[in-house]
Chains A and B, each alone.
Chain A
């Protein structure tokens, strides 16, 4: 077993793209954990989608060994975390498993919104924080100014911040020294006490089943041990135990302060609860760990197969993805326009996009995605409260007493020049200003905003009005009553359930108009005029008319064209199976998809 004093556990945290994963690469490389020939950039970002988008989605743990200047060899367990706000939950739970954080700040960009969020989370977790200024190889790096900024805005001493380039390897030895000298060893840990280990994360491995990442607090985890999950009550026999280097490597046991993995014939990720306390079935600990707040999906949308015969394949794909992602939820849904599909819940839009991409690419299923919606609390006259995940399920307004919507606290850092635009954007989105202070020389804006107004395209708008110079972070703060209504879209006088949405009364008309205009552009002309309307209850609030088709005839058609035209016609018919009834309107899938991208 390892002496507690020779262990350092830490997370690497930063704003998105400030270089966490690249720093992890250098730490792994310099300590010789991975053979030189097996090294590659952002080694830990192993998923296809992570590599393709160049971002981290899942936190990763690695154990490295470092012979320090004091002559001792230390065991370092690092956790590389994701930077995107959708996966903030991964960061906060990783922090629970360790005692310190390397706070990476890009020396060309400085402190950004997620830097702040991560610092607050680290302080909450009682972490020691070592600031690391990265990318000093770049000519635009301003380490002195950024150091000052860190002291001003965050209020931590940055005089001894490590100056590094994770890319070139400059300054990495200092980071390793700082880890052992400035971060604390595990606070306590009694090898003789009853087993107490934290279930940090679990993932599904096709060969091994569920793999559980654990941090041992007291006692010892051993192969063959019968363990119990205190929250879920499940009991299992440990069949494998090991550490990530970053490949899986089996070890005989894990003692206090250590981080590693176990497998125990657990069937699904859902059978485990992150934050749970693992102990022995017999003579276990009496005092469980406080646990984590569960991560809950906040954005919902419908996923339907373009080809209705692929519904079962979609079910299979969704179930497989959910095996490894407890924060992704789903249930079956049927829509008059789109047929059978699933209503799915996500942590945010990026999470939604990632899952959708993976279904389309890894499982080869073309999808129609309906407009995303947040979860409303619908309070009925009867006193009952319904969680509304799908606007199509909105009960009749006459039996509804009031509706509450989720609100967030948004933190935005923005250069002075764009402050006005940002305030206007927040105001337009029904925001309530909570704070406007200066972080160093930059305004720091805190707003209370409806999540509904943020999920659609807030981040894109923010980027465009600030030319990419603003950074944004948010946190859910609770539910508040507001004047919310369900807006229906009627195409050719028929309501299209997949296009219904909840909107604020005051913004309904604007959104309705924008929606009708967009649909008018997206629906091809038919042989008859098509009214497109937005309505609340029975009342039409916006209307457009799509003119009848006026011109669609082949100009030249002679002997040589007959075969080609016949085949073309057959193909067009095959593609239109679903709607092929005269007088019915054929709404193309782009119409559903682009509802996502609406600005309004």
Chain B
């Protein structure tokens, strides 16, 4: 019998935990350091990949994702060394997707060709905003022109290019966003990630917000209006959302991220990386040491960067499958939920009230449910 994860696929996540500067909104595991010994990091990442390879055995790998932090600070030879190890570890799908997150500065754009030569097929650019004032307020190191230029280079170099925008920013009105999004859609090729700004605890924005600062953030009603405009405009441009914040032409969906949302398996290497692996029928959650030094120490001295490995119960898996899967327009296969022994009663009730839809053997959120998905999940999830 096929294992459940196969319905979601198998990917590898590689975390590069360094950045040029810390953005005030960002709660990712990213650190600003003076110099990075690229070779040493390459060796450690490779060692981790081999370790996971031994555990999973041969499986067809569908994607690799270099995330961060800022992976575009990796030397192309570092990326090449990692991908070389990947090729030696797992059989690859013919259309293996290799994404690298890049910051759109000119220095980084200069390395794009090197990444392509190493095997990267797709970049995701952190453009964030299309005007300099907004970029300044977001604490970004690049200008809007620089981002456009980097985007231009990326389009020439890579098969597929995506970029990220952060909206629902301070003082951003619906009309401002319409204009900005219009410009973005005119630029975009095949994929766009549009995130509403989230104020995260433990960040500079978090502290300012808690202290009563950061005026002009949209209230719930404006956030909802901005969301609606986003849905309309992207759909009209042929880039409707396939996930809460992700938009793509039908053939350009990001395979790697789909592995997460479809509850597939993913090995995860690098500081703070989270993985999910099904080994001998049990699904595990893995977490690596968050601090770069500690992780490196673990890998070099004890042969593993992992801090913890937790078995997931059926209930945990159900919760995650709903939590992740209902973010997708396609929803979740009911059959998979059944196999985990779920109680469909709450979902039926919510379907009756118009929040969920059962269709073609799948359970999906309705259009009205998407912007309030967290509330729907609180009603739905078992426990």
Contacts and interface: CB of A to CB of B under 8 A. Distances in A.
Interface string B325-339: 001000000000000
A576 B383 CA distance: 11
A556 B266 contact: no
A570 interface: yes
A562 B244 contact: no
A35 B324 CA distance: 70
B276 interface: yes
Contacts of A551: 220-221, 223-224, 227, 371-372
Interface string B232-256: 0000000000001100000000000
B241 to A, nearest CB: 11
A576 B287 CA distance: 29
Contacts of B285: 562-563
A308 to B, nearest CB: 18
Contacts of B275: 559
B374 to A, nearest CB: 5
Contact of B273 (A527, A555, A560, A565): A560
Given A550-B221, A558-B257, A562-B274, A527 B375 contact: yes
B126 to A, nearest CB: 12
Interface string A144-165: 0000000000000000000000
B112 interface: no
B371 A573 contact: no
A475 to B, nearest CB: 43
Contacts of A557: 244, 260, 323-324, 327
Nearest to B273: A560
B13 A559 contact: yes
A549 B379 CA distance: 14
B373 A573 contact: no
Contacts of A552: 220, 371-375
A550 B319 CA distance: 23
B324 A562 contact: yes
A553 B372 contact: yes
B267 to A, nearest CB: 10
A498 to B, nearest CB: 24
B76 to A, nearest CB: 25
Interface string B274-297: 111000000001010000000000
Interface in B334-383: 346, 349-350, 353, 355, 370-379, 381, 383
A309 interface: no
Chain B binding site: helix, strand, loop or mixed by DSSP?
Answer: helix
Contacts of A560: 268, 272-274
Contact of A527 (B316, B370, B372, B383): B372
B372 A556 contact: no
B220 A550 contact: yes
Contact of B320 (A554, A566, A582): A566
A95 to B, nearest CB: 50
B383 A570 contact: yes
Nearest to B195: A555
A128 B224 CA distance: 73
A563 B274 CA distance: 9
B196 interface: yes
B198 interface: yes
Contacts of A382: none
Nearest to B28: A560
A188 interface: no
Nearest to A557: B327
A554 B244 contact: yes
Interface string A564-600: 0110011011001000001000000000000000000
A504 interface: no
Task: Give the interface centre of A525, A553, A566, A576 by most chain B CB atoms within 10 Å.
Answer: A553
Contacts of B220: 525, 549-552
Classify chain B's interface size: 35 or more
Nearest to A562: B320
B220 to A, nearest CB: 5
Interface in A511-526: 525-526
B319 A569 contact: yes
A557 B257 CA distance: 10
A190 to B, nearest CB: 71
Interface in B50-85: 67
Contacts of B221: 547, 550-551
A553 B370 contact: yes
B266 to A, nearest CB: 6
Nearest to A526: B375
Contacts of B223: 550-551
Interface string B257-272: 1011000001010001
Contacts of B245: 555-556
Nearest to B373: A553
A566 B323 contact: yes
Contacts of B195: 555-556
Contacts of B353: 582
B376 to A, nearest CB: 7
Interface in B295-316: 316
Contacts of A547: 221
Contacts of B276: 559, 562
A569 B378 contact: yes
B244 A553 contact: yes
B203 to A, nearest CB: 13
A166 to B, nearest CB: 41
A235 to B, nearest CB: 60
A569 B244 contact: no
Interface in A523-554: 525-527, 547, 549-554
Given A560-B273, A562-B320, A563-B274, A555 B373 contact: no
A563 B268 CA distance: 14
11 contacts: A550-B223, A550-B224, A552-B371, A553-B372, A554-B244, A557-B323, A558-B67, A566-B320, A569-B381, A572-B378, A573-B383
Which 10 pairs show the lowest CB-CB distances between chains A and B?
A: A550-B224, A551-B224, A553-B373, A560-B274, A555-B195, A559-B260, A552-B374, A551-B223, A555-B196, A566-B319
Given A556-B245, A562-B276, A563-B274, 9 more contacts: A527-B372, A527-B379, A552-B220, A552-B371, A555-B196, A555-B198, A558-B67, A562-B320, A582-B350
